[in-house]
Amino acid sequence: MTTTISAPAPNPALVSDEARIDFWARQAGRLDWATPWHTTHRWQPPAAVGTEPDGTVRWSVPEIGWFEGGTLNVAYNCVDRHVEAGRGDHIALYVEGEPGDRRTYTYAELQREVSRAANALLSLGVEAGDRVVLYLPVIPETVIITLACARIGAVHSLVFGGFSAEALRFRVEDTGAKVLVTTDGQFRRGAAVPVKAAADEAVSGENAIEHVLVVRRTGETDVPWTPGRDIWWHDLLAGQSDVHVPRAFDAETPLFIIYTSGTTGRPKGLVHTMGGYLVQAAYTHALLFDLLPETTGEDGVARPDELAAVNDPAKVESTVHWCTADLAWVTAHTYEIYGPLANGVSEVIYEGTPTTPHPGRHFEIIERYGVTTYYTAPTLVRSLMAAFPDGVPATYDLSSVRLLGSVGEAINPEAWRWLRAQVGRGTAPVVDTWWQSETGATILSPRPGDAQFDDGATAKPGCATRPVPGVSVRVVAEDGADLAPGEHGLAVVDKIGPSMARTVWGDPQRYLDSYWRAFAEQGWFLAGDGAKVDADGDIWILGRVDDVINVSGHRLSTIEIESALVAHPWVVEAGVAPTADARTGHAITAFVVLHDGVPLADVTPVLRAHVSHEIGPIAKPAHVAVVPDLPKTRSGKIMRRLLTQLFEGTELGDTTSLQNAPAIPAIADAVASWK
């Protein structure tokens, strides 16, 4: 048993509401405000306002405000102020294109580009409050146009460039966007593929689109064109001034709409606002990626000062951050666009996939730019493990890496150990950041300073650990009661921070129903993930509540069973899902992707025995299906509800968020032939 690592100062959210609100007010001092706020925090919890037709209480939609009355410009805070502080020559972006093209942007260059883009959008009549959808790959224009929207107060919504026309159409219509920005084509796995036709298809029906702006990326020749509506981005930019005076907006002005990954159903368009979001993005980026100054605690040990509201300039100067997420994912909004740029660090963005042109691409990029903080997803780590079973080749110099991070899913301990050993020399801290599109920024994570207390035996791979300062989390039973250590319950955020989503775009009722109704009386946010607290008080995320498997009354965690399977040398990846069973309620069904050369006849008995040994006989899968791939969302999350549906042969639900739709028939065939 390990001892919990005490924070240098107590989490203000656990002290009192006043301390929490004061803490965020101090953190807001990280930003430049044009006008100071009058109300740091306004919180109107759900209130009982009547009775639903079914006799249950009708609740009002909660209201959240932070820094009300204050005004600021988000783009100014991410770009201009660094230039004004004399850091215009500092690299903001290292851009690595898929075909091998590279370029860098200093903060001064970024300021000019964002200003030109802002002027370009204004010249089209885009106004504050208008929605702009970006359907773009990871290219510098994506960052520049995103910041240009923020600069003029247009609400951006980024859509993953790999999504289908159907997925894009839903987002264009749901946001009521006036402008769509896309490219002629995209590079995908070494080939240029056309994009514009898909964009046209998405805007072919009833919608509010006035213009489609097209960034030239691949040099496609036959780009379909609607005169009057379509404009080349370079034509629109031509002649625009690279000077733009930013205007300050109220802190509660919408900054962007982000759609959830859609792992559990139809994506929800969460709305984040300017002031609160940027404060928490900047602070948590500094906290988690080690920009805070060191302090010596009561125990005489030096570690980062978690409550500091200023960064250590030397740490800022020496950081080369790399968040590997696609820019359209919430992870990238917070830890690739807004957080790192608000903190003025250098960072890498890269286009394409990790395996093109070769599986060592990430290592090459780390070496080329001297990446110091590498933040990625468990799915990527598992694919690197499969590609490099003997570890990272010694030809790559990864010595610049001083911190690792993981996000998107619970990381299997096997993958955590591999990442740390192979990319972090066995000693780099690993921040396993648990959060959601809804929370806007990390809620639970170990801290960079924890690693110094970790002798290898005390590490807790796969544990999201504890709330970041300024927020708090409880693990409770369905009736809200506290649970004993080890008991499985629901994760709720009982004290929120300023980056909590304010609503679901156009559907406040869904915001209430999805997140606040379950614990309306207490005013807690329901995260939708299962969790447990261990004897040290550390929190473990166990997977989606929707995916929880209930075998004869025992609630089992999909993640725990998957991690046990992945720990077996035969298994590359595992997805575990409940399937109907007349006797036990749910049967545990495991879908495994295997290394080459595994004796197939032995798979079921060997893996059943393995899980039984690792967790207990109750967790033993009833069925083990060998599949070529697992259905995943664009952000690499396993879609377990599809596994259940594939196994049971029922109709597949919403699949618009699928990343690997072409793999589905092969998975279905494998499941069918297995049965």
Residues that bind ligand ATP (CB under 6 A): 260-264, 267, 330, 407-410, 432-434, 436-437, 464, 527-529, 541, 544, 635, 637
Cβ-based nearer residue to ligand ATP, 199 or 330: 330
Cβ-based nearer residue to ligand ATP, 264 or 472: 264
Tokens 């691949």, located at residue? 218
CB of 132 to Mg ion, least distance (A): 24
Tokens 């993005």, located at residue? 281
Residue 637's binding partner, choosing from Mg ion, ligand ATP, none, with beta-carbon cut-off 5 to 8 A by kind?
Answer: ligand ATP
CB of 654 to ligand ATP, least distance (A): 9
Cβ-based neighbours of 467, under 8 Å, separated by 6 or more: 11, 13, 443, 444, 473, 539
CB of 544 to ligand ATP, least distance (A): 6
Residue 330's binding partner, choosing from ligand ATP, Mg ion, none, with beta-carbon cut-off 5 to 8 A by kind?
Answer: ligand ATP
Residue 409's binding partner, choosing from Mg ion, ligand ATP, none, with beta-carbon cut-off 5 to 8 A by kind?
Answer: ligand ATP
d(C-alpha 456, C-alpha 451), whole Å? 9
Cβ-based nearer residue to ligand ATP, 334 or 346: 334
CB of 131 to ligand ATP, least distance (A): 20
The DSSP call for residue 306 is T
R_g of the chain computed on alpha carbons: 24
Of the candidates 565, 544, 550, 551, the residue with the CA atom closest to the CA atom of residue 640? 544
Buried b (16+ CB within 10 A) or exposed e, 411-433: bbbbbbbbbbebbbeeebbbbbb
CB of 531 to ligand ATP, least distance (A): 9
Cβ-based nearer residue to Mg ion, 92 or 258: 258
Residues in region 239-298 near Mg ion by CB under 5 A: 260
Residue 624's binding partner, choosing from Mg ion, ligand ATP, none, with beta-carbon cut-off 5 to 8 A by kind?
Answer: none
CB 552 within 8 A of CB 581: no
Residue 562's binding partner, choosing from ligand ATP, Mg ion, none, with beta-carbon cut-off 5 to 8 A by kind?
Answer: none
Cβ-based nearer residue to ligand ATP, 544 or 610: 544
CB of 514 to ligand ATP, least distance (A): 8
Residue 351's binding partner, choosing from ligand ATP, Mg ion, none, with beta-carbon cut-off 5 to 8 A by kind?
Answer: none
Straight-line distance from the first to the last Cα atom of the chain, in angstroms, rounded to the nearest whole number: 43
CB of 640 to ligand ATP, least distance (A): 11
Question: What is residue 638's three-state secondary structure?
Answer: strand
Cβ-based nearer residue to ligand ATP, 111 or 433: 433
CB of 209 to ligand ATP, least distance (A): 25
Cis status of the peptide bond prior to 429, with omega within 30 of 0: no
CB 374 within 8 A of CB 419: no
Cβ-based nearer residue to ligand ATP, 259 or 369: 259
Residues in region 40-59 near Mg ion by CB under 5 A: none
What are residue 314's phi and psi, to 5 degrees? Answer: -65, -40
Angle subtended at Cα 512 by Cα 511 and Cα 516, rounded to the nearest 5 degrees: 110
According to DSSP, the residues that pair with 44 across neighbouring strands are 63
Question: What is residue 394's three-state secondary structure?
Answer: coil
Cβ-based nearer residue to ligand ATP, 138 or 638: 638
Other Cβ atoms less than 10 A from the Cβ of 298: the count is: 8
Structure tokens, 48 = 């009982």
Residue 218's binding partner, choosing from Mg ion, ligand ATP, none, with beta-carbon cut-off 5 to 8 A by kind?
Answer: none
Q: Which residues bind Mg ion (CB under 5 A)?
A: 260
